[in-house]
């Protein structure tokens, strides 16, 4: 009954337009006030203790490193590299768009940063070459969700900090799933090239590809340094964030694209972005504490077991529920909200926690491009100057393609666990 009342208060506050973080915190406070058995002093204590986590310090560092690298001109080098490699393939700049997102994911860790950087460069070029604007926008938005899957990923950092799972292992686990979804998208663009519009470029040749790879090498090396350092035990995820920032500062200084004024502005932006995330996390901690106190995760697991004994059916039901949730709740908020409730279910059904984490992250991520909220799709529409309504119909097949990739990832655990086992010694 308490949990039901908690969710009713939460829903009511959301309907009234209260931000998600405050809705979660205020609904938890309301339950304590109504119950009267727990002093309200517990709320600020729980709020701040949830943020007292060393791994969470990696979030502002990775955000700042991505911003610094982008301003330092690395996006241009990545686009040129991707263009030389796949610009001649059927689908042309559509293929370049997806491959650029794959490469850019290694420095951003954020879908919003990906769509802003890649979209601002490629959307005008795609329209100029004759691509249908609504398709160009949808391709950009769909490929942008690779940012939080391929490491370094802010969502993986959050999930690891909340559950105690190794962030380095989660980073490794996200590589092949991200590439799988990218391959599905590139396959659809190849198949649908005649409808998308545009033209193929001439093949650049091996010398040009080699030169473009060298120019893009600073971006391609960074994720290798981060994952390699974490997995080898040289540094933690937070210390890897520091390395990424220093690396980005040095790169900006060498290319002379970064000055002190820009660095300070980007530091402020990273601090503001992190503050928003931490406020959500603090509010969710209060919400999750009430849920855990009432034993709701165990009750949810029991209800699922009563409904089905199959881990695959349970996983399919969880994916469906997360897809619906993501349609109405912002990605980070949704992930923070569901993680305390869903993480225990992996153990009940014998699902590998790392594999389960990747499936949950991708499922929640899909909401960022799914109407009605569709934050990433809306951002791409603004950059591409395309009406939001015009993208809804072209979006459907891309959504189906990504869901198909998600189902492969969900029901073939080897896609997620191969690299953690082979390179990280996971489970050995």
Q: How far apart are CA 334 and CA 284, in angstroms?
A: 10
C-alpha 123 chain-centroid distance: 21
Q: How far apart are CA 322 and CA 361, in angstroms?
A: 9
Residues 40/44/46/49 CA torsion (nearest 10 deg): -160
DSSP labels, 393-416: HHHHHHHHHHHHHHHHHHH-THHH
Biggest alpha carbon–alpha carbon distance for the chain? 73
Q: How far apart are CA 252 and CA 195, in angstroms?
A: 40
Rounded to a whole number of angstroms, the CA Rg of the chain reads 22
Q: How far apart are CA 311 and CA 326, in angstroms?
A: 22
For the beta carbon of residue 191, count every other beta carbon within 10 angstroms: 13
Q: Which residues contact 267 (CB under 8 A, 6 or more apart)?
A: 64
Q: How far apart are CA 184 and CA 182, in angstroms?
A: 5
Specify burial of residue 251 (Cβ count, 10 A radius: 0-12, 13-18, 19+): buried
Q: How far apart are CA 416 and CA 357, in angstroms?
A: 10
Tokens describing residue 166: 């190794």
Nearest to 135 by CA among 175, 192, 83: 192
pLDDT in tens, 29-52: 888 888 766 677 777 887 887 777
Sign of CA dihedral 387, 129, 86, 82: negative
Specify burial of residue 23 (Cβ count, 10 A radius: 0-12, 13-18, 19+): buried
For the beta carbon of residue 45, count every other beta carbon within 10 angstroms: 10
Cβ atoms of 398 and 142 closer than 8 Å: yes
Provide the b/e sequence for 87-122 (b: ≥16 CB within 10 Å).
Answer: bbbebbbbbbbbbbbbbbbbbbbbbbbbbbbbbebb
pTM of the model: 0.86
In the block, tokens 């370094």 appear at: 152
Q: What is the pLDDT of residue 427?
A: 66
**Secondary structure (3-state) at 131:** strand
pLDDT in tens, 73-105: 777 788 888 888 888 888 888 888 999 888 888
Length of the chain: 428
For the beta carbon of residue 206, count every other beta carbon within 10 angstroms: 9
Q: Which residues contact 199 (CB under 8 A, 6 or more apart)?
A: 92, 129, 130
Sign of CA dihedral 187, 188, 192, 196: negative
Q: What is the pLDDT of residue 169?
A: 92
Distances (CA, A) of 277 to 7, 20, 21, 272, 377: 21, 11, 9, 9, 20
Tokens describing residue 274: 């992190």
Q: Which residues contact 353 (CB under 8 A, 6 or more apart)?
A: 163, 165, 343, 346, 347
Kindly give the confidence (pLDDT) of every residue in the chain, 428 residues in length, as a single tens digit, with 9 standing for 90 and above: 677 888 888 888 888 888 877 888 888 888 888 876 667 777 788 788 777 777 778 888 888 887 887 777 777 788 888 888 888 888 888 888 999 888 888 777 778 778 887 888 788 888 888 888 898 899 999 998 898 899 888 899 889 988 889 888 999 999 999 999 999 999 999 998 888 877 777 787 888 888 888 888 877 887 888 888 887 778 888 888 888 888 888 888 888 888 888 888 888 988 888 888 888 888 878 877 887 777 777 777 777 878 887 888 999 999 998 888 888 777 888 888 888 888 888 888 889 999 999 999 999 988 778 877 678 888 888 888 888 888 888 899 999 999 999 999 999 999 999 999 988 777 65
């Amino acid at each position: 009954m308490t949990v039901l009342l908690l969710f009713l208060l939460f829903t009511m506050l959301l309907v009234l337009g209260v931000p998600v973080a405050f809705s979660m915190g205020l609904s938890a406070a309301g339950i304590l006030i109504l119950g009267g058995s727990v002093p309200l002093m517990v709320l600020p204590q729980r709020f701040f203790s949830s943020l007292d986590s060393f791994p969470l310090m990696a979030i502002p560092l990775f955000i700042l490193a991505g911003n610094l690298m982008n301003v330092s001109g690395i996006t241009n080098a990545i686009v040129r590299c991707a263009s030389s490699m796949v610009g001649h393939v059927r689908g042309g700049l559509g293929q370049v768009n997806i491959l650029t997102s794959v490469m850019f994911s290694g420095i951003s860790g954020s879908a919003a940063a990906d769509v802003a950087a890649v979209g601002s460069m490629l959307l005008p070029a795609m329209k100029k070459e004759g691509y249908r604007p609504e398709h160009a926008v949808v391709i950009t938005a769909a490929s942008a969700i690779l940012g939080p899957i391929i490491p370094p990923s802010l969502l993986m950092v959050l999930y690891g900090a909340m559950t105690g799972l190794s962030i380095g292992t989660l980073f490794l686990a996200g590589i092949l799933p991200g590439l799988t979804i990218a391959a599905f998208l590139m396959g659809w663009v190849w198949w649908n090239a005649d409808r998308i519009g545009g033209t193929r470029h001439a093949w650049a040749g091996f010398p040009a590809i080699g030169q473009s790879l060298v120019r893009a090498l600073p971006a391609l090396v960074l994720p290798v340094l981060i994952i390699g350092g974490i997995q080898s035990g040289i540094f933690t995820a937070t210390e890897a964030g520091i390395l990424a920032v220093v690396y980005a500062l040095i790169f900006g200084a060498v290319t002379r694209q970064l000055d002190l004024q820009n660095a300070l502005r980007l530091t402020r932006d990273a601090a503001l972005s992190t503050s928003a995330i931490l406020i959500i996390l603090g509010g969710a901690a209060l919400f999750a504490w009430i849920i855990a106190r009432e034993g709701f995760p165990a009750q949810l697991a029991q209800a699922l077991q009563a409904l089905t004994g199959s881990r695959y059916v349970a996983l399919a039901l969880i994916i469906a529920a997360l897809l619906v949730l993501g349609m109405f709740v912002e990605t980070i908020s949704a992930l923070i909200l569901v993680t305390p409730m869903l993480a225990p279910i992996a153990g009940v059904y014998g699902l590998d926690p790392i594999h389960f984490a990747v499936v949950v992250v991708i499922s929640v991520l899909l909401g960022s491009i799914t109407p009605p909220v569709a934050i990433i799709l809306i951002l791409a529409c603004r950059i591409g100057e395309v009406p939001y309504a015009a993208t809804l119909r072209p979006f459907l097949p891309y959504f189906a393609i990504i869901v198909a990739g998600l189902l492969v990832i969900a029901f073939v655990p080897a896609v997620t666990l191969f690299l953690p086992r082979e390179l990280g010694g996971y489970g050995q």
